[in-house]
Structure 1
Amino acid sequence: METKLNKSRMERVRRKCGFICGVEVEAEGSRGGLCLAWKEDIKVTLRSFSKWHIDVIIKEDDIEGEWRFTGIYGSPYLKDKNIVWNLLKRLAREDRYPWLVEGDFNEILYSFEKSGGVQRDMKLMEAFREVLDDCQLLDIGYSSVWFTWERGIVQHLPYSYSDHCPLLLNTKKSVAFTGNKRFHFEAWWTMEDSFEEVLKESWESTNGTLMEKLERLQFCLKEWARVKEKEKVGLKKELTNKLEFF
């Protein structure tokens, strides 16, 4: 999160909240500032930091293996967005731990995620989607949290004074891997013209219990999405080849 505090003041706030260990990145005047806090029973190794990120390796006593956490604060200013996106892509190229990326990206994926105000520039949202795709961070998404592994469970907690919802990650509750990737609904599906038709056709063509209809719907949507993704890849290659002649 953006603390807007200097290091000494943020450290006092952190300790007052019961976190003995932590890393603070100083704010620049009234802008920026980052803090990552943890308790003594967790081993955290700092890898790198900047005014945009804190990157660490985490070892929990009762969890097998280490995993990686990167806290990101995306710039709200257009002139700095490419700097943050390039940083994220650079971090993604480093050694492969199970990876959690969390923070305030100051960007949205699709226009329907924003309520009111000035309409978001389509190019900015597309650039954000491409960055996450390049980093392979589209496996699971919960608001501003992105995983490259299916270890934890995320909950949205109640909030009052802030317009940001607290997120709770529980790494001790995991679903056993059975060999099949869990079904995840993708927001971009709703932007496809054929989505509603596929949804309606699958639901009306299946006779059985609610669970049987839902299982059939999952299968149909996954197959439809697989075909759509292939079409998008082909279209992208076609357009790229045409651009080479200009």
Structure 2
Amino acid sequence: MKLMSWNVRGLNKPRTVGRLRQKLREENPGLFFLTETKVKDSKMAGIRRKCGFFNGIDVSAVGRSGGLSMGWKNCCKVSLRSYSVRHIDVLIEDDSEGNQWRCTGFYGHPEEQHRGESWDLLRSLDDMPDTPWLVLGDFNEIVLSSEKQGGRDRPVRQMEGFSAALSDCGLDDLGFTGQWFTWEKGKFSNTNIRERLDRGVANGAWWELFPDYKVAHLQHSFSDHCPVLVNTSFGSSTHVRTWQFRFEAAWLLEDSCEPEVKKLWLSSSGDFLDRLLQVKQGFDRWFKDLRRKKTSTLTALKKKLEKLNEQIPSDEVLGEIVDTKLSMNLEMDKEELFWEQRARSNWLKHGDRNTSFFHRCASQRRRKSKVKFLESENGEVCSGEAEMLTVATNYFGSLFTSSVTGSCSRILEGVNSCISETMNLSLRREFTSEEIWDVVKSMNPLKAAGEDGLGALFIQRF
């Protein structure tokens, strides 16, 4: 099971909500915990559901600060134990293994003078010592001075207060992979501060239950905190899906798209339909190459950002970090446009940049459209492709075969004619190229692509 914790620093803007959805889709956690949502619980519940997490608990922000949310999927049974403006505590029963353990999402008080109240809260939650217990979130504190770079030194008493609370609860740090810091402030070397404020801690029973766990500090392109991902059983298989060719709207954002169209069209031969077919075949090859490059581009940008974050934060390095995050955002914008077309939805036009929603819509539509079996006229259920083809052909063949005999003239005698001869001639005349082009221009560019996969968008643009 994967769990993700993230201080998102506000979900009031559609773009930040879109980035959250994309990260959830990318990492696919079974449970997430968010801090500083800065929205009311009702709004956060809507955001959570649009992310595909229909189960959860949301805590409203107080004014313009705070706000918590924990959402989970149906991969496990979760029961709520308690919650406040600083924590959400649940009991998890893993459906696959039947293991029962606790997970507490924790948000340490952002003000130093109230930090002790957070540690008292943590101690009060330690009421099931024999149950495996994981606590993750933004503690707003460090344990060692080495977990801070830049700015004034952290008072020793503050670090000792945090360490004492963890020790009293029997919680040990889970470690991490990736960049060492989880929070950053300042875009110039003389003002840059980095700290490890977010982490996962667990008691001995949890360590024994999940000996193969892994904690990762993830790369991101917004928020001053990075997501923390806990994988209780590191190592999972991936499913590779093959796609039917269709011209994607996101390709128009590629610099090589228009030159590729011109090159393929000029190198094609034959009539219009033959040339379109050759363009499609060429685009199929171009798309496969683009998909490989796109995956490697985003991966390379993430690796580049990870290496930059490991370097001394000079002005040059910090400027390159900003440029890299902008490039990551551009690649993510392309993916959002890709999933909009897949879902045949117009929500992006209205400001709801919802990659995860579009992906879910496209996946649900694919599942709904798939025919798994058919029943023949004699009541026999068929699931084979050839058998279902025969059943469908016979059914529609008989459906559209007329069984009416005789003339309909007696019925038509009672119908008044409303089409004049002039109107009839106008209706029966050949379509003009102008009329055809008007229809093509009026089509929604992202709707049904047609058999060749090129669709209205391609014709309208090129």
TM-score by length of 2: 0.36
Match of 2:219 among 158, 164, 167: 158
Instruction: Indicate the SS of the match to 1:144.
Output: strand
Are the structure 2 counterparts of residues 84 and 61 from structure 1 closer, same or farther at C-alpha, using a change threshold of 3 Å?
Answer: same
1:126-137 paired onto structure 2 within 5 Å: 126-137=160-171
Q: Could you say which structure has the larger radius of gyration? A: 2
State the match for 2:202 in structure 1: 147
Q: Which sections of structure 1, spanning at least 5 residues, go unmatched?
A: 175-246
Choose 66-75 or 11-20, whichever is displaced more: 11-20
Instruction: State how far apart, in whole Å, the 2-side matches of 1:140 and 1:19 are.
Output: 26
Match of 2:150 among 103, 108, 116: 116
Instruction: State how far apart, in whole Å, the 1-side matches of 2:219 and 2:132 are.
Output: 28
TM-score by length of 1: 0.66
1:43, distance to aligned residue in structure 2 (A): 1.0
Please tell me the residue identity of whatever aligns with 2:163: R
1:219-238 paired onto structure 2 within 5 Å: none
Instruction: State how far apart, in whole Å, the 2-side matches of 1:155 and 1:120 are.
Output: 25
Instruction: Indicate the SS of the match to 2:172.
Output: coil
Please tell me the residue identity of whatever aligns with 1:23: I
Large movers: runs of 4+ above 6 Å? none
Instruction: Indicate the SS of the match to 1:123.
Output: helix
Q: Which sections of structure 2, spanning at least 5 residues, go unmatched?
A: 1-34, 177-197, 236-462
Whether contact under 8 Å (2:108, 2:115) holds in the other structure is yes
The higher-RCO structure (CA 8 Å, 6+ apart) is: 2
1:146, distance to aligned residue in structure 2 (A): 0.5
Instruction: Indicate the SS of the match to 2:149.
Output: coil
Please tell me the residue identity of whatever aligns with 2:147: E
Instruction: State how far apart, in whole Å, the 2-side matches of 1:62 and 1:17 are.
Output: 23
User: Once the two structures are aligned, what percentage of the paired residues are identical?
Assistant: 47
Please tell me the residue identity of whatever aligns with 1:154: V
What is the aligned length?
A: 174
Whether contact under 8 Å (2:175, 2:215) holds in the other structure is no
Are the structure 2 counterparts of residues 122 and 81 from structure 1 closer, same or farther at C-alpha, using a change threshold of 3 Å?
Answer: same
Whether contact under 8 Å (2:109, 2:115) holds in the other structure is yes
Whether contact under 8 Å (2:173, 2:199) holds in the other structure is no
Are the structure 2 counterparts of residues 78 and 137 from structure 1 closer, same or farther at C-alpha, using a change threshold of 3 Å?
Answer: same
Residue 106 of structure 2 corresponds to residue 72 of structure 1: yes
1:115, distance to aligned residue in structure 2 (A): 1.6
Greater strand share, 1 or 2? 1
